[in-house]
Structure 1
Amino acid sequence: MNKSAAPTPGDTGRKRWLMLGLGVAAQAVACVFVYGVPYLVPELRSTEHLSLAQAGVVISAPTIGLMAALVAWGAAADRYGERVVLGLGLALSTLILFAGLMVHGLVLLWVVFFLAGAAGASVYAASGRVVMGWFSAKERGLAMGVRQTSTPLGMGVAALAIPPLAAGNGISAALLFTAVLTGVVGLAVAIWVVDPPRPAKPTADGAATKPPSPYRSPVLWRVHGASALLVWPQFTVGAFGLLYLVDVQHWSVTDAGRLMAVGQLAGALGRIAVGKWSDRVGSRLRPMRQLALVNGVLMLLMALCALWPSWAADVVLIAACGLAASTNGLSFTSTAEIAGPHWAGRALGVQNTGQNLTASLTPPLAGELIVVGGYAAGFGLAAVFSLAAVFATPSAHRAETPRPDPAPAPLKT
């Protein structure tokens, strides 16, 4: 296909689902690495002779690299296009992971994992952008909901593959698996991803100009803030739901893990359903506000169940797992739509940075609160964050102005 020619409507109809599939695959393989590294802790301690604290430093490196590079990759996607950023980022990730097969020790492993996380940040910045560009406003909620299932998919692959590979053949086997997976998806991206059409805004002399920054108004900052607030209850439930079932509800670890897996499945399906709902009502922010309120109520119920345990807590926990992450797709979709195609990459980079920062802070801070005040205090604080997000989310009529999709402009070569 000639990359310099704009796709016809028929091309768009045929290709948008391929672009969605490639975006999901790219994000999923990035998650396999980021969420698979913690499963290397036993081998880091036994074969690399690291203390638990040192192993913790190593497994934090991918997330630090991710946050350090997100905005830069987003700016690159705005300027050079999604295909270049996705292909380059995955290629760099593959090479860095292969280099990791030959290094040992705290410092070198930290550097490799940091660089691999930074390279993988390209996927977080550009995969959502390519999905947004290929789907019309009537389907973007559904498309981004499907794209958001890449996180639990990647986490599931990591949980199934990394522990046995590392236990049986060492850290190198786990890194080799991740490198091959990343390389295969990177090759597919390089071959098949096509940059979505971008609108051109003509000036008086006929040249295209870039629209002003969307950050001149507080709307995008409020969306970023609300989504970061909603990450806290999501990671509170994800990090401590299993322990709550064991400590308070007296489940076995195996049965508690199975129930949490059901909750994660509900969460993946919830993202798709919520995205479709937002398409039907023609708004991302109104459902986001309503779900923030529901999440707040569920967290309050979890706090009450921690004080007065009963069978109802199991039902509430499943509902909380299903809905706590359901706003992610809405916040990403609204961010890209409000920012517009010329600023979406950077805006999605900022969005991802805020969410990952909150995700990094939640387990240690919420864990300390639970140690001091019990599970009721931990879930209670999560309720406060959810309810705060209701007020932080901008009103739909102020942030969302329905408009027709722009006519395609010629794609960059």
Structure 2
Amino acid sequence: MGYRWVVLSVGALAQGTNAAVFLGLPAISPQLQQHFSLTLPQVGLLLGAVNLGTMIALVPWGVVADRRGERLVMTIGGVGAASCLLAVALGNAWIAGLALLGTGLFGASVNAASGRAVMSWFSRESRGLAMGVRQTATPLGAALTAAVLPGIAISAGIPTAFVVLAGVTAFVALAVALLVREPPGAIRAGTDHGLVLRDPRLLRLSLASGLLVVPQFTATALLVPLLHGHRGMSVTAAAAVFAVAQLLGGAGRLAVGVWSDRARSRIGPLKIVSVLTASGFVLVAALDQAPLPLLIAVLVPTSLCALCWNGLAVTEAGELAPEGRSATAIAMQNSANYLSAAVTPFVASFVAVHVAWPAAMLLAAVAAVAARVLLQPWRSLRASSPQNSRSVS
């Protein structure tokens, strides 16, 4: 096995560990509410601090990664995130909020830096699969945390749960420090990153990605309430459907990565996935009162489409960047995703409750159509770029 797969494995592990915090913590919301004596909206604000910190820090970490390398960035970020998680275990609600903000600020280092490692070590012909592996670590890390962390929080308490998260995060930071390095001849960026951030293609891709997060997080946030609260399915059965959709979405990230490698295009498959996602949500809206088996038969593949596209957009962002600046470009693209992820659950839930459930589904479809329109005039200039011809084993 080439060393590049070691780098990818460690980067994926770091990505999954980061996801354990920003996607896995909602699984212990009831315990957080009880431990800190908070209302449910206050717990939402507490958990939102992680996403806020991540969104703020993504681009600065990307710039540093391009200038100093991914090992330094992910090691510092991991140690900082672990320290902040320990502070959550030791503090009150206010300290916990600030510490989770800090966790997001430090944890954001992983998003851009691990993507840079993929761009550096893998050639264009295999990046789709490699980035798919990296992106699949996100739902898997969240799923594992949701399965394990509530038991720890219930049996040993919230402080112990955060000590465990801190320990795992510190272990991964050590693995990064020991195992991750840049390939021979890797190019470090200079000080001018403004050209990357002003690239109209990157800006359009970032906006399209942010729009595609709307159906993604609509599926994530509303699938269980739709099936349980709106259609009367048991919580256990609805959660099982949610789990199946998440697992299929993770597998879909690998599949579309391979597809994009064979098609020698990221945007082509991304356009098709956008259309399939929009069509699926239109069908879900139309089948709102259909028999449950029929609704589920449409809802699950629609969720799969909504969840599977991320690696395509991340890879395209990295390939758009000049040599040595892929982390900055990936961070820019990710910032739009986190902004949309912070807003979508509230907006989609509000529309579902105060307007109609089909309206929330149609809102997701409209966002996917808008993303497809933004990608329509796309012209790729990747073929002649050194960034896209590098091959390291």
Q: Match for 1:41 among 29, 40, 51? A: 29
CA distance in 2, matches of 1:16, 1:372: 50
**Displacement after TM superposition at 1:286 (Å):** 1.0
Aligned to 2:12: 24
Structure 1 stretch displaced more, 376-385 or 387-396: 387-396
Aligned to 1:6: none
Superimposed CA distance per residue, residues 301-326 of structure 1 (whole angstroms, 9 cap, x where no aligned partner): 01101154453211111101211122
**Displacement after TM superposition at 1:340 (Å):** 3.0
**Displacement after TM superposition at 1:298 (Å):** 0.5
Q: Alignment partner of 1:376: what SS?
A: helix
Gaps of 5+ in 2: none
Aligned to 1:53: 41
Structure 1 stretch displaced more, 121-130 or 209-218: 209-218
**Displacement after TM superposition at 1:14 (Å):** 1.2
CA distance in 1, matches of 2:391, 2:312: 24
Q: Match for 2:162 among 175, 178, 196? A: 175
**Displacement after TM superposition at 1:212 (Å):** 7.6
Superimposed CA distance per residue, residues 361-394 of structure 1 (whole angstroms, 9 cap, x where no aligned partner): 0111111101122211000111101111111115
| Identical columns (%) | 37
Deviating above 6 A after TM superposition, structure 1's stretches of 4 or more consecutive aligned residues are 208-212
**Displacement after TM superposition at 1:170 (Å):** 1.4
CA distance in 1, matches of 2:350, 2:43: 20
Cα separation, partners in 2 of 1:399 and 1:226, compared to 1, 3 Å? farther
Cα separation, partners in 2 of 1:249 and 1:102, compared to 1, 3 Å? closer
CA distance in 1, matches of 2:184, 2:118: 11
Cα separation, partners in 2 of 1:140 and 1:193, compared to 1, 3 Å? same
Cα separation, partners in 2 of 1:397 and 1:40, compared to 1, 3 Å? same
In terms of fraction of residues, the more helix-rich structure is 2
Counterpart AA for 1:343: R
Q: Match for 2:266 among 281, 284, 302? A: 284
Aligned to 2:66: 78
CA distance in 2, matches of 1:200, 1:210: 14
Does the CA contact (< 8 Å) of 2:122 and 2:390 recur in 1?
no
**Displacement after TM superposition at 1:53 (Å):** 2.8
**Displacement after TM superposition at 1:167 (Å):** 1.3
Does the CA contact (< 8 Å) of 1:66 and 1:118 recur in 2?
yes
Cα separation, partners in 2 of 1:49 and 1:231, compared to 1, 3 Å? same
The residue correspondences of 1:258-297 to structure 2 (distance < 5 A) are 258-297=240-279
CA distance in 1, matches of 2:367, 2:285: 14
The answer to whether residue 147 in structure 2 is matched with residue 165 in structure 1 is no
Cα separation, partners in 2 of 1:331 and 1:134, compared to 1, 3 Å? same
The residue correspondences of 1:126-145 to structure 2 (distance < 5 A) are 126-145=113-132
Aligned to 1:256: 238
CA distance in 2, matches of 1:197, 1:189: 18
CA distance in 1, matches of 2:245, 2:27: 21
Aligned to 2:221: 239
CA distance in 1, matches of 2:124, 2:329: 18
Count residues in correspondence. 390
Counterpart AA for 1:157: L
Counterpart AA for 2:263: V
Cα separation, partners in 2 of 1:109 and 1:77, compared to 1, 3 Å? same
CA distance in 2, matches of 1:197, 1:225: 34
Does the CA contact (< 8 Å) of 1:146 and 1:272 recur in 2?
yes
C-alpha RMSD of matched pairs (Å):
2.2
Superimposed CA distance per residue, residues 59-94 of structure 1 (whole angstroms, 9 cap, x where no aligned partner): 111111111111111111011000100111101112
CA distance in 2, matches of 1:295, 1:408: 33
The residue correspondences of 1:162-241 to structure 2 (distance < 5 A) are 162-197=149-184, 213-241=195-223
**TM-score, with structure 2 as normaliser:** 0.93
**Displacement after TM superposition at 1:27 (Å):** 0.6
Structure 1 stretch displaced more, 114-123 or 396-405: 396-405
Aligned to 1:68: 56
Q: Alignment partner of 1:163: what SS?
A: helix
Structure 1 stretch displaced more, 398-407 or 336-345: 398-407
Cα separation, partners in 2 of 1:210 and 1:262, compared to 1, 3 Å? same
Aligned to 1:3: none
Q: Match for 2:303 among 290, 313, 321? A: 321
Cα separation, partners in 2 of 1:188 and 1:249, compared to 1, 3 Å? same
**TM-score, with structure 1 as normaliser:** 0.89
Bigger Rg, structure 1 or 2: 1
**Displacement after TM superposition at 1:101 (Å):** 2.6
Does the CA contact (< 8 Å) of 2:274 and 2:372 recur in 1?
yes
Gaps of 5+ in 1: 1-12, 202-207
Does the CA contact (< 8 Å) of 1:337 and 1:344 recur in 2?
yes
CA distance in 2, matches of 1:133, 1:75: 15
CA distance in 1, matches of 2:233, 2:254: 30
CA distance in 2, matches of 1:169, 1:74: 37
Structure 1 stretch displaced more, 110-119 or 250-259: 250-259
**Displacement after TM superposition at 1:249 (Å):** 4.0
Q: Match for 2:109 among 122, 125, 130? A: 122
CA distance in 1, matches of 2:385, 2:328: 22
The answer to whether residue 84 in structure 2 is matched with residue 96 in structure 1 is yes
Superimposed CA distance per residue, residues 132-173 of structure 1 (whole angstroms, 9 cap, x where no aligned partner): 211110000011011101111111121012111111121111
